[in-house]
Structure 1
């Protein structure tokens, strides 16, 4: 979550008049995350999230995301649905951006997850995959191997401003990972971004899975590999917590079977996940507007993770 587009109280007040959720009481920008503009909205009837979709999220993809969330919610998964206005419309325009008013879920995202929390989060991903198995929804992963290779190429030698020689190293690494990428593993709709800040916790219980705006159809085990890279390291990508990494995979396997082939592919999938997030972080690092209310993420934290996986680290 982040804030790129400013929304005035007057504009939001006008927007809310199309809903049955009371009048605006307060509006606060949410700085965490890097993709869309998000606000915490309090009205006379409750609390909501307002999301304005920025350039990395296509308005044409929003019906897919809404369908995924509706399916998961109807199957008992703790996900927030977009709320319709009085005409039944989910997707609107506000301040020149596609926008949705979204359910607020209680809970906090943890910056230093424990093994118990990681196990619960892994089980929540397993339950999500179980719900989505066989669902006839399709969206290509625009940030799969071809996507992050293209993004690294667009960053080009500007990557060397982040660290000298980085462009050559990550380009070679990407070629190596793509050459070993598996193509025969089970595919399904995946979250593709289930970082700790996209999981809400109440103690050791998962109360919410949020921010599905990278959801796509891809290798199911890739979703778990992405999650492992995000949960099992410190923020700088230097310290690996084996207890958290092991608990995460165990929690997933408790809820959804992980085949031998999927387990064997996790190291290369994790390396790919590292390059995907290095690429998007590097692009944002180099191109984020100076006046955006957003916390940029260090691309090198994912290069350090990549090196750890390449050297044989895994749960």
Structure 2
């Protein structure tokens, strides 16, 4: 997505200090375009939301970031900069399409490494810190706009029936059978999980590109676009899944799981119910992610092969779990 001079002018009219700024498109963000902006000695991030992102969700995200800004966290978060009129985002025309855009400070740090155990432990501790703060935001769930990730028939408007995913991905018969079994287990377990496990505001995209580190310590957390009210354990397992599960054959698998869990539980302990539900929530997280990514594919945003690869790895890891469950739970600190 390119920015015309007309678009740049429209942006600088709202944030006047960008009058002489330079704009550089980055590879960040899978659902929207992101630009690094340089203005004199200062650096910013200009984020364009996807046309499908509801205005209510943008308001929710920005309210959450403003709340966290007052929580005195030990790491930085990207609080939107207000325009002269006090708005935190604007509508601007880009390539003939009207998109919402927000200007954020560019945080110092670099994305964490998936195989650095010191950084992984720090990431676990930072997530616990974040969860403690997020628990105080919208505790009754009055303002969250997104559906629970456990509602597989609602998490993406293009996939109202999760059991169509195997066909949409054109999987082989055995993979279809196995994936349908995973989807069925996730759907059947979801009501009890939501009835018995802690629910609060979560980040919902706490993965390595969104975790900035410096000298092996987390110094910034990005991308709260998917933040919502959901299972606390879902956030935990989703992050750990991205760190350790792919490739799950990694020789440091147990060390990664243990480092993340040690960091998290140094500040916030999982409940007994969460420990017992760890595998069920992991399956729910994987199932919901595959449904959501398939929705992206239907929208023309994703790569079919990447999603199919994720399905294959998910099914292989689930098979591995059947004979290595105790080892995995022990590394989680659940046994």
Structure 2 Cα separation of the partners of residues 189 and 72 of structure 1: 12
| Distance in 2 separating the partners of 1:45 and 1:164 | 58
How many angstroms apart in 1 are the aligned matches of 2:8 and 2:23?
A: 9
Cα offset, 1:228, TM superposition: 0.9
**Deviation at residue 116 of structure 1 after TM alignment:** 1.0
Query: Contact 1:225 / 1:269 at 8 angstroms: preserved in 2?
Result: yes
Q: CA deviation at 1:245?
A: 1.2
CA contact (8 A) 1:32 1:295 kept: no
Alignment of 1:250-265 (within 5 A): 250-265=262-277
2:182 paired residue number: 173
Trace 1:68-107 onto structure 2 (pairs within 5 A).
68-77=64-73, 78-95=76-93, 96-107=98-109
CA-to-partner distance for each residue in 1:102-132, whole Å, 9 max, x for gaps? 1110111134341111111111111111112
| Offset at residue 307 of structure 1 (A) | 4.0
- Report how many residues are paired: 306
Whether contact under 8 Å (1:9, 1:27) holds in the other structure is no
CA offsets per residue over residues 39-84 of structure 1, 9 Å max, x none?
A: 1111225111111111452111111111111111211232111110
User: Where do 5+ consecutive residues of structure 2 fail to align?
Assistant: none
Whole-angstrom CA distance in 2 between matches of 1:156 and 1:204: 40
> CA 1:224 to 1:88, structure 2 compared with 1: closer, same or farther past 3 Å?
same
Once structures 1 and 2 are overlaid, which stretch shifts more, 52-61 or 215-224? 52-61
Aligned to 1:65: 61
Distance 1:304 1:238 in 2: 10
Q: Does 1:142 align with 2:142?
A: no
> Aligned to 1:37, which of 17, 30, 33?
33
The correspondence for 1:246, drawn from 246, 258, 262, is 258
Q: TM-score, normalised by structure 1?
A: 0.87
- Alpha-carbon distance change, 101 to 151 in structure 1, aligned in 2, over 3 angstroms: farther
Cα distance change, pair 72–154 in 1 and its aligned pair in 2 (3 A): farther
> Which residue, 46, 49, 56 being the options, matches 1:53?
49
Give the deviation of 1:26 after TM superposition: 2.0
SS in 1 for 2:122: helix
Equivalent-residue separation in structure 2 for 1:39 and 1:227 (angstroms): 25
Would the aligned equivalents of 2:120 and 2:256 in 1 still touch at CA under 8 Å?
Answer: yes
Larger deviation: 217-226 or 304-313?
A: 304-313
CA shift for structure 1 position 273: 1.2
* CA–CA distance in structure 2, aligned partners of residues 156 and 306 of structure 1: 13
Distance 1:14 1:24, change over 3 A: farther
CA distance in 2, matches of 1:165, 1:115: 36
Whether the 8 Å contact between 2:168 and 2:294 is mirrored in structure 1 is: no
Do the aligned partners of 2:169 and 2:308 also contact (CA within 8 Å) in 1?
Answer: no
1:191 paired residue among 184, 189, 203: 203
Output the CA distance in 2 between the equivalents of 1:247 and 1:88: 42
In structure 1, the gaps of 5 or more residues are none
Q: Alignment partner for residue 28 of structure 1, among 3, 24, 43?
A: 24
DSSP-derived class of the 1:192 partner? coil
Task: Please say if residues 48 and 100 of structure 2, whose CA atoms lie closer than 8 Å, have aligned partners that are also in contact.
Answer: yes
Residues in 2 aligned to 1:92 and 1:74: alpha-carbon distance in whole angstroms: 24
Question: What is the CA RMSD across the aligned residues, in angstroms?
Answer: 2.6
Cα distance in 2 for residues equivalent to 1:145 and 1:92? 32
Q: In 2, distance between residues paired with 1:155 and 1:40? A: 36
Q: Quote the Cα distance in structure 1 between the aligned partners of 2:112 and 2:175.
A: 31
Q: Specify whether residues 158 and 298 from structure 1 end up closer, same or farther in structure 2 by C-alpha distance, changes over 3 A only.
A: closer
Bigger Cα Rg: 2
